[in-house]
Amino acid sequence: MSQEERHEERFVFLAGDLALDLVNTVLVDGGALVDTVATPEGLADWVAASPLDGAPSAIPPAVHARTLAMRQAVRAGVDAVVEGGPVPDTTIATLNAVLATGPGAALTRGPDGALRYGLRADLDADPAVLPWLLADAGARLFAGDRLDRLRRCANHDTCVLIFLDTSRNRARRWCSMEVCGNRSKVAAHEARRRRSSAE
Ligand SMILES: [Zn+2]
């Protein structure tokens, strides 16, 4: 297995939302809670594997710390929302503090000579824009119209992952059918088997 494949396997991108994918960097693996981006190197690997443009070769420790603080704020917001409450003021304040560091916008000339107008957010050249990009995703999530689709994986006992249920009939229960969906089926099967052998 190549180094790159190992990196990809450490992370899950199943939430349907970048801010939630960031929250899902804390997951249960082998029965223990694991932070897959606990180091700046781990975060750089996550960015490279993520849908974000760019793959910074190194993430400065201060940017790493700001990103983890942001993740905690989004997690608190998610937990409040799935419990039926409002997004906490502390979450909004943390997002706003990061959003205030906005990268600004710029006109750039592309290789074909055509002008493009957009964010001046080049992750490769300036990894410091990472927390802003993620805070932007979190703010759009909390202020957007998909918030009522926020779900926790139904496998509460051994999974902490969250996602947006974008299925048409709003019936998605598991982070992943392959992992928790199957695990639940196997557990139900085991319970039935134990019951019938006890009779
Ligand atoms: Zn799950």
Q: What is the pLDDT of residues 57-89, one digit of tens each?
A: 999 999 999 999 999 999 999 999 999 999 999
Q: Return the pLDDT at 114.
A: 94
CATH number for domain 3-198, candidates 3.30.750.24, 1.20.58.1180, 1.10.3300.10, 3.40.50.720: 1.10.3300.10
- 116/56 Cα distance (integer angstroms): 22
- Please tell me the distance between residue 182's alpha carbon and the centre of ligand 1 in angstroms: 10
- 122/79 Cα distance (integer angstroms): 31
Which of 97-106, 109-118, 160-169, 188-197 is predicted least confidently?
188-197
Mean pLDDT of 155-162: 92
- 192/113 Cα distance (integer angstroms): 67
Q: Return the pLDDT at 55.
A: 92
CA angle in degrees (0–180, nearest 5) for 73-76-77? 90
- Please tell me the distance between residue 155's alpha carbon and the centre of ligand 1 in angstroms: 5
- Please tell me the distance between residue 118's alpha carbon and the centre of ligand 1 in angstroms: 36
- Please tell me the distance between residue 173's alpha carbon and the centre of ligand 1 in angstroms: 9
Is the confidence at residue 1, as pLDDT, over 50? no
- Please tell me the distance between residue 107's alpha carbon and the centre of ligand 1 in angstroms: 43
Domain-wise residue ranges, the chain: 3-198
Tokens 């998610």, residue located: 78
Q: How confident is the model at residue 199 (pLDDT cuts 50, 70, 90)?
A: low
Is the confidence at residue 149, as pLDDT, over 60? yes
Q: Which residue has the higher pLDDT, 185 or 170?
A: 170
Is the confidence at residue 3, as pLDDT, over 60? no
Is the confidence at residue 8, as pLDDT, over 70? no
- Please tell me the distance between residue 63's alpha carbon and the centre of ligand 1 in angstroms: 29
- 90/75 Cα distance (integer angstroms): 11
- Please tell me the distance between residue 158's alpha carbon and the centre of ligand 1 in angstroms: 7
- Please tell me the distance between residue 146's alpha carbon and the centre of ligand 1 in angstroms: 20
Is the confidence at residue 194, as pLDDT, over 90? no
Mean pLDDT of 96-121: 90
Q: What is the pLDDT of residues 10-28, one digit of tens each?
A: 899 999 999 999 999 999 9
Largest CA distance in the chain: 78
Q: Return the pLDDT at 39.
A: 97
Q: Return the pLDDT at 71.
A: 97
